Amino acid sequence: MRKKRIMVIGPTNCGKSTLVNALNDEMRPIRKTQNLIYGKHTIDVPGSYIENTWMYKYVISAMQDASHVLILVDQSKAGAVYSPGFAKVFRCPVIGVITKVDVRPENEGFCIKQLQSIGAADPYFKISVQEAIGIHALKECLFEKKDR
């Protein structure tokens, strides 16, 4: 049986790779790629897979290896990226994550509405890897559940 990993999904430049490094306790250089990257605990999905709806089938296929799916929305940019109900296609738990919460706090309400629209259930994790906000709570939630 293959190891189940945490799938991290989000648009380009929303902080996916930085979050993946934090979840894997690694400091890999951040680079753009068009490939899924399997880490120690994660599957890093390139932003282009989300930004092009015809690529959703690849995300859904890769979900077979996921214990959880993290859907990221970037608080520093107010823009809808996901299709309504997007989170409903996943059979594993989906967790909504708002990234870059230290930037543009006025966008928090928009981010929450976006997560609700795509079907990610509350509670949402509000994080900033750069400022070390919310990472500990997210790791505790993910790895505590994986260990059960």
CATH number, residue 31: 3.40.50.300
Strand arrangement, sheet containing 125-126: 37-38, 42-44, 5-9, 66-74, 94-99, 125-126
The per-residue pLDDT for range 59-111, each reduced to its tens digit, is 888 888 899 999 999 999 988 888 899 999 999 999 999 999 999 999 999 99
Please tell me the distance from the alpha carbon of residue 14 to that of residue 45, in angstroms, as a whole number.
12
The per-residue pLDDT for range 38-48, each reduced to its tens digit, is 889 999 999 99
Which two structure tokens, joined as six digits, stand for 107?
């966008």
> What's the total number of domains in the chain?
1
pTM of the model as a whole: 0.89
SS3 content of the chain, % helix, strand, coil (to 5): 40, 20, 40
The per-residue pLDDT for range 109-125, each reduced to its tens digit, is 999 999 999 999 899 99
Domain containing 92 equals 5-147
Which two structure tokens, joined as six digits, stand for 80?
């809808």
Q: Which of 87, 94, 82 is nearest to 14 (CA)?
A: 82
94-99 and 37-38 strand pairing: unpaired
